[in-house]
Amino acid sequence: MPENWSVVYQTLLEAFGPQHWWPADTPLEVMVGAILTQNTAWRNVEQAIARLKASGSLEVRAILERPAEQLEQDLRPAGYFRVKAVRLRALCRFLEQQGCAEAPASLAEKGDTASLRQRLLDVHGIGEETADSILLYALEKPVMVVDAYTRRLSQRMGWSGPRIAYASLQKDVDAGLPPGDTGIRKELHALIVQLGKEFCRARPRCPGCPLQKQCAHGRPVSH
């Protein structure tokens, strides 16, 4: 049901207003946050980023030069800090190899979106959701991010099964949105996350949900 994703966008925007994502001061901070947010809540990421900033380490070369133990201590609040330190270094090495250490946003000019996506996926620890978050929010590419909230929403709306592949769901959402519109994709992903936190939780709170009338799971049964 691709066309319905633009209705989801309109409805959620009216209900919640603009979400002003991604919360970060620089494109590198977006990229770092996209890795640190794997398997943890955003408030923990904020603490780790604050530590990186306090130690003057939120720069590509500073991350690469920081002693491993100190970098791990900076990342400790985000959980899995050893794994994430390795992943962060891999990202920074990649940016350096691409000639983007000084200006990470310039990665956007190093090829078309498909080739950038593939190169990001080749970096250790970067999967589809992380790569797409970087493309969309750090590099301003019109790529839809699919996460667990999107998957759950699509399933409950009655549009897909629980095991739909990332690429299929991404294609489905993308097809319902104006081609090439980065702003809508940024906003829609943020709105879906907000819906997932407030209403469409593991145990859904359907009464009051802005999508209840359209939703197969939440629609009140008429007798």
**Token digits of residue 67:** 């002693």
Q: Which residue is nearest to ligand SF4 (CB)?
A: 218
12 binds ligand SF4 (CB under 6 A): no
How far apart, in whole angstroms, are the C-alpha atoms of residue 174 and residue 168? 10
**Token digits of residue 182:** 């980065």
105 half-sphere exposure, CB direction, 13 A CA radius: 11
200 binds ligand SF4 (CB under 6 A): yes
Q: Which is nearer to ligand SF4, 183 or 208 (CB)?
A: 208
Fill in the per-residue mask, 109 to 148: x = in contact with ligand SF4 (CB under 6 A), - = not in contact.
Answer: ----------------------------------------
Stretch in the footprint of ligand SF4 (CB under 6 A) among 49-57, 97-105, 121-129, 214-222? 214-222
Fill in the per-residue mask, 155 to 194: x = in contact with ligand SF4 (CB under 6 A), - = not in contact.
Answer: -x--------------------------------------
How many residues bind ligand SF4 (CB under 6 A)? The answer is 13
> From the list 217, 220, 222, 223, which residue makes contact with ligand SF4 (rule: CB under 6 A)?
217
Stretch in the footprint of ligand SF4 (CB under 6 A) among 51-59, 93-101, 166-174, 198-206? 198-206
215 binds ligand SF4 (CB under 6 A): yes
Q: How far is the CB of 144 from ligand SF4 (least distance, A)?
A: 18
16 binds ligand SF4 (CB under 6 A): no
Site residues (vs ligand SF4, CB under 6 A): 153, 156, 199-200, 204-206, 209, 211-212, 215, 217-218
